[in-house]
Structure 1
Amino acid sequence: MNATAPPAATHSKATAVFTCILAALAGLMFGLDVGVISGAQQFIQKDFAISDHTIEWVVSSMMAGAALGALGAAWMSSALGRKRSLIIGAVLFVIGSILCGTAGSPAILIVGRIVLGVAIGIASFTAPLYLAEIAPEKIRGAMISLYQLMITIGILVAFLSDTAFSYTGNWRWMLGVIAIPGVLFLFGVVFLPCSPRWLMMRGQHEEAERVLHKLRADKDAVALELAEITEQLKVPQRGFHLFFQNRNFRRSVGLGIVLQVMQQLTGMNVVMYYAPRIFQGMGYNTESQLWFTAIVGLTNVLATFIAIAFVDKLGRKPILYAGFVVMTIGLGIVGTMMHLGIHTHAEQLFTVGMLLIFIIGFAMSAGPLIWTVCSEIQPLKGRDFGIGCSTITNWVANMIVGGTFLSLLNGIGDAGTFWLYAAFNAVFILLTFWLVPETKNISLEHIERNLMAGKPLRRIGQ
């Protein structure tokens, strides 16, 4: 008896594994870009002799580029295809990394960061979409989760890379080395097939069927998936028109925007971007600052597993409540310690511990779950428009937060800044009660019916 797997099944498995590698590289690339500036900025500031305000521009310019990239990604992925969009994103990522690593002035560095941001905006919109359309149904959820997890791993790797280069102070290598995963990502995307769904959208039915036969191996599964895609494409995306015509759709878009603003005002990304500066305020030297920053990244990775493990068991709202409470307490205590003064090593460690508690609160709740809820509350006809609005809002709010943190520190002090973010998180507990629906084990169709029937937002999952 021949135990060798059929060639079609072997090819299908290899393609699935290759797609997993793509997911990992796309997420890793995203995380590297977010995390790398944290350890580099103090050396950039010293080398160029620039102010805190200019450093804020260096940090936040990437988010401005990402908002632009996300804004154009929906059109690009539809007109050019998911694969070509990812190729463009990878090329821009490599160019942006090289520009940043070789920048001779703050202006060139900001331009490089904007180019990197555009690349990330394209990838953050297109990669999950491509993966969802090309992955076998049995591993689709796992692959999207892997993509989100790899973002946090990318941030950790960036922090560790920054720590390694910190002993020489070579910020150019910190920023330039992330071109390597960009090249690997580009190489991987070139050899991947086009999305069958996109091919069907363009009327290329035979090519879509050929691609699916390579990916699935089972002829019956191919026929079923082709029929499902054909049925789904009968529902046109009319989000822009629906937004102006339907009050209930405006409510879901508005909630998605509010949720993304909430996520950014938790203060998580200011910790990610400015962790060494925060640890400096606690009295640590440069090497210690970067090692503790790496610990922040590791905590972020590990705590993400809490959300993955419990989101479908406990529900969205209970975990969000817990997360906002934990974040309020964590930042409140950090602010209090900075107000009282951190004088001993024990007080330093306690303050670091409370900051890590805050990180756990975010990574287990608002980090992954805001995105989950945003994708669940949009009706089918307007899903692309609604999620697009949420994504752009996330990057714009991210840019504002990243571009104001040092000004807040210099204006109202370390303690006042952390108390401000703690107050935001306390308000978000109330907003979660008033606005956020529980969507655990509820079909998207049921949520849509309740939304369009005019039920209060917090009850559309009932």
Structure 2
Amino acid sequence: MNATTAAPVATRAKATAVFTCILAALAGLMFGLDIGVISGAEQFIQKEFVVSDRTIGWIVSIMMAGAALGALAAGWLSGHLGRKRSLILGGVLFVAGSVLCGVAWSPDVLIAGRFVLGLAIGIASFTAPLYLAEIAPESIRGAMISLYQLMITIGILAAYLSDLGFSYSGNWRWMLGVIAIPGALFLVGVTVLPDSPRWLMMRGRRPEAESVLHKLRGDVNVIAREIADIQEQLKIPQRGVHMFFQNANFRRSVGLGVLLQVMQQLTGMNVVMYYAPRIFQGMGYATAAQMWFTVLVGLVNVLATFIAIGLVDKLGRKPILYIGFVVMTVGLGVVGTMMRLGIDSHGEQLFTVAMLLVFIVGFAMSAGPLIWTLCSEIQPLKGRDFGIGCSTFTNWAANWLVGVSFLPLLNGIGQAETFWLYAAFNAVFIVLTFWLVPETRGVTLEQIERNLMHGKPLREIGR
């Protein structure tokens, strides 16, 4: 192939890779739909079934418990069935869980449906970032993995808009059941995805891996280098659980992945996502205003995510995280202070809402997408399924803890103190980012792995 024909081929291949990543990132849409839909439905569920705040907390949080188990299973599934088939399974479970929630005739059935949805989201939240990291060219890897977070935010916004529409009739069953439609569309779309070339190489299917890379890279030199890099990493005899117990450097990357996911959940973002109407009620707004402001939260979340997509491969991971944690600390700190002083006038209400939106911007431009990006980049190939499985399980376990504890915190220590607590967490995360988080911009996964296994400090494995 000469230079004249090589450029168009490479351009077409990059376009194919981007399209493939977009299709896989739609798994995040299911994630976002499930996060967003429950916030608008919970008050109507509580009225129909006449249940306590504790039961509502379980209806909200059982999804996260299912997701934690789904994430654990996803490590085995993605290794044995492949990334593509795991995403298909997640789609099937998502549609089934959505339908079950929509027809639920008791709180127990609703909890069961939410648990099935959790299994689907756990599988997808493990598999999609992993697949994206292995499919995307390194020059746009950060943006493509951030696209997954963008799809989550779009899903949340779509769920909020759907909730707003159905809120006038109070039909929570349609709120929960209608998300089966985009789930079915995702299920159809994911069937055309190629298998991950790294997974194919791990299964000894080199010709198929080269064929996939030819469609996604186009440049024979790039393909040869990537195949050689993967082959080199496959020579490492350890993997998974065995590797975790035998290799201290791998334990470091797993530990960092776990810590990053705890950090993401303790920012307090999902508290806002799950309980936004309840939070706006605490600011003095009526039901209609609560739903409209909840939609505004979803819209800001979507728009701010574009900041991360635009800057992650230019400015880098760590600078964006620093900015995000500072913004979140200030935003939640001010919200808590306003709640302590008292929100009496309309101007004070709007100012408090504005500071909550500042917090949303801080999360959506930083910890939201970049934690997933980093967790998919720092794990070595032989232990990638296990490492990402541990971090994804931690995400959902911490998510469950945040979801189930928020209402008791509000009722126990008070609204202001609850928001101050999350502001303090974000301040601590600025320090942890400095000491432990690596900058991985523009570095191949194989180079990150070599630095890790040579014992470099965690914050230097991207150099």
- Given the two structures, how large is their TM-score scaled by the length of structure 1? 0.88
Q: Percent identity?
A: 79
Moved more, 20-29 or 223-232: 223-232
Contact kept, 8 Å, 1:237 with 1:384, in 2: the verdict is no
Report deviation, 1:212: 6.1
Q: State the AA in 1 paired with 2:188.
A: F
Distance change (3 Å), C-alpha of 1:25 and 1:383 = closer
Report deviation, 1:86: 1.9
> Deviation string for 1:208-248 (max 9, x for gaps)?
56666777788887777666655554345514223222333
Contact kept, 8 Å, 1:237 with 1:383, in 2: the verdict is no
Gaps of 5+ in 1: 1-7
Report deviation, 1:187: 1.7
Partners of 1:10 and 1:452 lie apart in 2 by 34
Partners of 1:219 and 1:248 lie apart in 2 by 33
Partners of 1:443 and 1:132 lie apart in 2 by 10
Correspondence 1:250-261 to 2 at 5 A: 250-261=251-262
Distance change (3 Å), C-alpha of 1:342 and 1:189 = same
Moved more, 275-284 or 333-342: 333-342
Report deviation, 1:409: 0.8
1:42 matched to which residue of 2? 43
Moved more, 34-43 or 246-255: 246-255
Partners of 1:69 and 1:397 lie apart in 2 by 14
Moved more, 380-389 or 219-228: 219-228
2:5 matched to which residue of 1? none
1:281 matched to which residue of 2? 282
Partners of 1:165 and 1:209 lie apart in 2 by 49
Partners of 1:142 and 1:456 lie apart in 2 by 25
1:342 matched to which residue of 2? 343
Report deviation, 1:435: 2.7
Partners of 2:70 and 2:125 lie apart in 1 by 9
Distance change (3 Å), C-alpha of 1:308 and 1:454 = same
- Given the two structures, how large is their TM-score scaled by the length of structure 2? 0.88
Q: State the AA in 1 paired with 2:435.
A: W
1:246 matched to which residue of 2? 247
Contact kept, 8 Å, 2:244 with 2:250, in 1: the verdict is yes
Moved more, 101-110 or 235-244: 235-244
Report deviation, 1:70: 1.0
RMSD over aligned Cα atoms? 3.1
Partners of 1:361 and 1:38 lie apart in 2 by 21
Q: What is the SS of the residue equivalent to 2:312?
A: helix
Partners of 1:214 and 1:315 lie apart in 2 by 28
> Deviation string for 1:137-190 (max 9, x for gaps)?
787665433333111111111111111111111110000000001111122233
Contact kept, 8 Å, 1:25 with 1:181, in 2: the verdict is no
> Deviation string for 1:309-367 (max 9, x for gaps)?
33344333332222222111111111111111111110100000010111111112211
Distance change (3 Å), C-alpha of 1:449 and 1:77 = closer
Contact kept, 8 Å, 1:152 with 1:301, in 2: the verdict is yes
Contact kept, 8 Å, 1:39 with 1:276, in 2: the verdict is yes
1:3 matched to which residue of 2? none
Distance change (3 Å), C-alpha of 1:376 and 1:230 = closer
1:331 matched to which residue of 2? 332
Correspondence 1:22-171 to 2 at 5 A: 22-133=23-134, 142-171=143-172
Correspondence 1:407-418 to 2 at 5 A: 407-418=408-419
Q: State the AA in 2 paired with 1:417.
A: T
Distance change (3 Å), C-alpha of 1:220 and 1:154 = same
Distance change (3 Å), C-alpha of 1:430 and 1:142 = closer
Contact kept, 8 Å, 1:316 with 1:369, in 2: the verdict is yes
Partners of 2:122 and 2:378 lie apart in 1 by 22
Distance change (3 Å), C-alpha of 1:339 and 1:136 = closer
Q: What is the SS of the residue equivalent to 1:272?
A: helix
